[in-house]
Each structure stands twice: as structure tokens, then as C-alpha cells.
Amino acid sequence: MIFVMLGTQNNPFQRLLEEIDRLIGKKVIDEEVVVQAGYTEYQPQNGKMKIIDFMPREELDTYEQNANYIITHGGVGSIITSLEKGKKVIAIPRLHQYGEHVNNHQTEIVEKFNKSGNIIGLQSVEELEEAIKRVQDFEPKPYVENNRKMLELIENFIDNIK
């Protein structure tokens, strides 16, 4: 099972679900996909995609733990909780230009974790097919908490909003 985490902020990410659905139809994805969609509304065109808007933390943890790998947006919380559970993570940032977030700070977050070797970080949904083909052989570096760097990222984000 693939678990897709889209977080709980009021930001849609329909592009990602459309791409996952396309890959199911193309048979690149041939296992069940469970989506924690949050505020993203989407009606799957192909089978194998179960969409749950919101779920209790315990249920989220169970899906996360039982997943073969996680596909998520570029939210720090979603990435870190998956890494702490020892999961392989593919992360794609929400982008401002599509009305998915207030700015493009998720690109920096995904890039940081990708460069550290913790995740397969993408910059567009069009890269997802290739990432899925290589995720089974991907050996992520263990996540080591580094509060100083994370605080710098958050401070930069806040400075860019002003």
C-alpha cells in the first residue's frame, strides 16, 4: 500500500492526485493507494485509490506505518513523521503559481531533505513516474534532527513573507 499525505492546512493539491490517478491507469502504480487528502477534493478516475479527507492521528499513524512508502507534499511535519517511522518518502512541493500555497517555501524544504539523502525530492508532479520506478531501490539516509537548520529555514520563510 502507498500512503499519500496531503496535510491538514487549507491548501489543495489536486495536481498530485491527478498524477497518481494517471499512473494507476497507466499501471505504473499497481497497488492500493490510500490518500489523507485534507482539503483537496478529488474523484478518482481509476480504481485502487481510497480518499479520506481527515482521519484521527492513530489511524494516520497506522496507515503511515503499514505503507510500503509515502508520497507527500513538502510539509516538514509530514516528511519528518514519515522519516521517523523509517519510511521511504517521495515529496513534491505545493506551488504558489497553482494556488496551492501562499509562496514556494515547500520547494526549499523538499530540496533540503533531498540533498541530505533522506527523501526522493521532486520539484514537479511530472517527475513522479520516474521516482516511483526507483523508490524500491532507494536507500534513504537516516534523518537526524537538526533544530538549528530547521529554525533557519523557518526564519527565512518568515522573512520572505514580510
CB 79 within 8 A of CB 89: yes
In tens, the pLDDT along 88-121 reads: 999 999 998 877 777 788 999 999 999 999 999 9
How many Å apart are CA 80 and CA 158, to the nearest integer?
A: 20
Residue 112, burial from CB neighbour count under 10 angstroms (0-12, 13-18, 19+): buried
- Helix/strand/coil for 126: helix
Q: What angle do CA 79, 113, 116 make, to 5 degrees?
A: 140
Q: Kindly report, residue by residue over 51-76, the tens digit of the pLDDT.
A: 999 999 999 999 999 999 999 999 99
User: What pTM did the predictor assign?
Assistant: 0.89
Q: Give the tens place of pLDDT for each residue, 21-51.
A: 999 999 999 999 999 999 999 999 988 899 9
Q: Which of 107, 62, 105, 74 is nearest to 6 (CA)?
A: 74
Give the integer Cα–Cα distance in Å for 31 and 15.
20
Q: How many CA atoms lie within 13 A of 91 on its CB side?
A: 32
Contacts of 159 (CB under 8 A, 6+ apart): none
